[in-house]
Amino acid sequence: MVQQQIGASIFDFSLRAAKAALVVLGILVTILTVVATAHAQTLSVLHTFTNYVQPDAGVTMDAAGNLYGTTRYGGNGGGLVYKLAHKGSGWVLSPLYSFQGHNDGGFPMGGVTIGRDGNLYGTTFIGGQFGAGTVYKLSPPVTFCRSVLCPWTETLLYQFTGGADGGEPQAGVIFDSAGNLYGTTGVGGTGNYGVVFKLTPSSSGWTESVLYRFAGPPDGYDPAGALTFGDNGTLYGTTDLGGGVTCECGTVYQLTPSGSGWTEQVIYRFQGLNDGGFPSGSIVLDPEGNLYGATSVYGSDDGGTIFELMPSNGHWTFSVLYSPTRGGSGFQPVGTLARSSSGTLYGTFFYAGIFQSCGGEGCGSVFQLSPSPGGWVYTSLYEFTGGEDGGEPNGGLVLDSAGNLYGTTGGEVLGYGSAFELAP
């Protein structure tokens, strides 16, 4: 199952790091267009990565339409932060920072967040002084650079010890209106179950405070997705594991600020049945306060679920919006959903069954779920072939104002991945 594959890749770094240290990122300007047969969607490959890179976290878009992302491997051996920008009729990739995998951090698994100061902020899974990961800032060159090879400057904001403060962050960070950073770590805290942390800036640097330490079942643990802000400073997130007694299949939780600290409430525990299990990606919030997300497995045919949580008088009502069928037009959703202003949800499936490459399960797809008076309407927008268009999309999607979708695939193009655009 996809959850098992992801878990194995997270904790088997020693061999992979050794391989990654032997390669150098290939910088390639390329654009390939493949016209999908279903629903007249046009997929363009913006960049094909080389040398064991694996862009796991999708992309982030700035106001000018440039894309930023991370790769778990490649660069100087510890992963890469890159920028994709329009140039003529194509796109140009610029490597912004290559991690060494040591004191500067390594293996960035989450995406980057663009600060109001124009800097990029993110986390690394390992590295730093204590080897338990970092929170970093990347700043552009102070003078204009005409080359694609213009490295940005890294500043480490925090280095995790792996103890009470947390360790091994797997997701990116988010800002509040005051400029504080929030994120999660997969380990550390009480019982090594992970933490939710806050970083507060000052003239002398950044100070970490732990908002919550996960306690294990029936609480959740191993929070792998990024946080989402709701009303009044409330934070929402998911845990990969924990929750139920019979099935530690993950949770959706809420953290509410109070005068004495933060209060956690588990608002849903997955049972590993028709409701799904092992939530992937982050929570998406609509203006009415409803939450949306995805689980990677279980459901009606062990293909995962797309779900909604609706608040009412202090309680939450869970419903499955879509439960895919294995071997169909896609199953096992991975990554964070994107939501349009009209309420349509967009996401990716790691597998899709028409093209029998990619290990025999198909190479994944992009889908949409549209609200209607009779329920939610599912549409498969594009199914990857595992050829030059890539395969196995494993990060979230970004939606621009013109309705174009942007994301990444994790493999099948020499096993290294790609960045793509899907136009309506």
Is this model's pTM higher than 0.85 or not? Answer: yes
- pLDDT surpassing 80 at residue 145: no
Q: 415 pLDDT band (50/70/90 cuts)?
A: low
Burial (CB count within 10 angstroms: exposed 0-12, middle 13-18, buried 19+), residue 372: exposed
Whether residue 378 is predicted with pLDDT greater than 80 in this model: the reply is: yes
Q: Widest CA span of the chain, in angstroms? A: 58
Q: The domain 2-423 belongs to what CATH superfamily?
A: YVTN repeat-like/Quinoprotein amine dehydrogenase (2.130.10.10)
**Helix, strand or coil for residue 408?**
strand
The mean pLDDT of 262-279, rounded to a whole number, is 95
25 falls in which pLDDT band (50, 70, 90)?
Answer: very low
Q: What is the pLDDT of residue 274?
A: 94
Instruction: Name the residue ranges covered by the structural domains of the chain.
Output: 2-423
Does residue 26 surpass a pLDDT of 80?
A: no
Average pLDDT over residues 392-409: 94
Residues in the chain: 424
Report how far apart the first and last C-alpha atoms of the chain are (Å, whole number): 31
* Least confident residue range of 60-69, 70-79, 138-147: 138-147
pLDDT of residue 41: 86
User: What residue type is 384 in one-letter code?
Assistant: F
Which pLDDT tens digit goes with each residue over 157-208? 999 999 999 999 999 999 999 999 999 999 999 999 999 999 999 999 999 9
pLDDT at 13 over 50: no
Cβ(331)–Cβ(301) below 8 Å: yes
Q: Which of 275-289, 325-339, 365-379 has the lowest mean pLDDT?
A: 325-339
pLDDT at position 20, please?
Answer: 34
| Percent of the chain clearing pLDDT 70 (strictly above) | 88
Region 397-419: mean pLDDT is 87
Residue type (1 letter), 120: L
Q: Work out the average pLDDT over 126-141.
A: 97
Are the C-beta atoms of residues 139 and 119 closer than 8 Å to each other?
yes
Residue 2 has a pLDDT of 32
Residues 6+ apart with CB under 8 A from 288: none
298-317: pLDDT as tens digits: 998 999 999 999 999 889 99
Per-residue pLDDT at 52 exceeds 80? no
> Cβ-count burial of 148 within 10 angstroms (0-12 exposed, 13-18 middle, 19+ buried)?
middle
Q: In sequence order, what are the beta bridge partners of 253? A: 237, 266
Select from 45, 73, 68, 49 the least CA-distant residue to 411.
49
Residue 29 clears pLDDT 90, i.e. is over it: no
DSSP 308: E
- State residue 356's pLDDT score: 64
For residue 379, give Cα distances in angstroms to 24, 85, 189, 424.
Answer: 39, 30, 42, 13
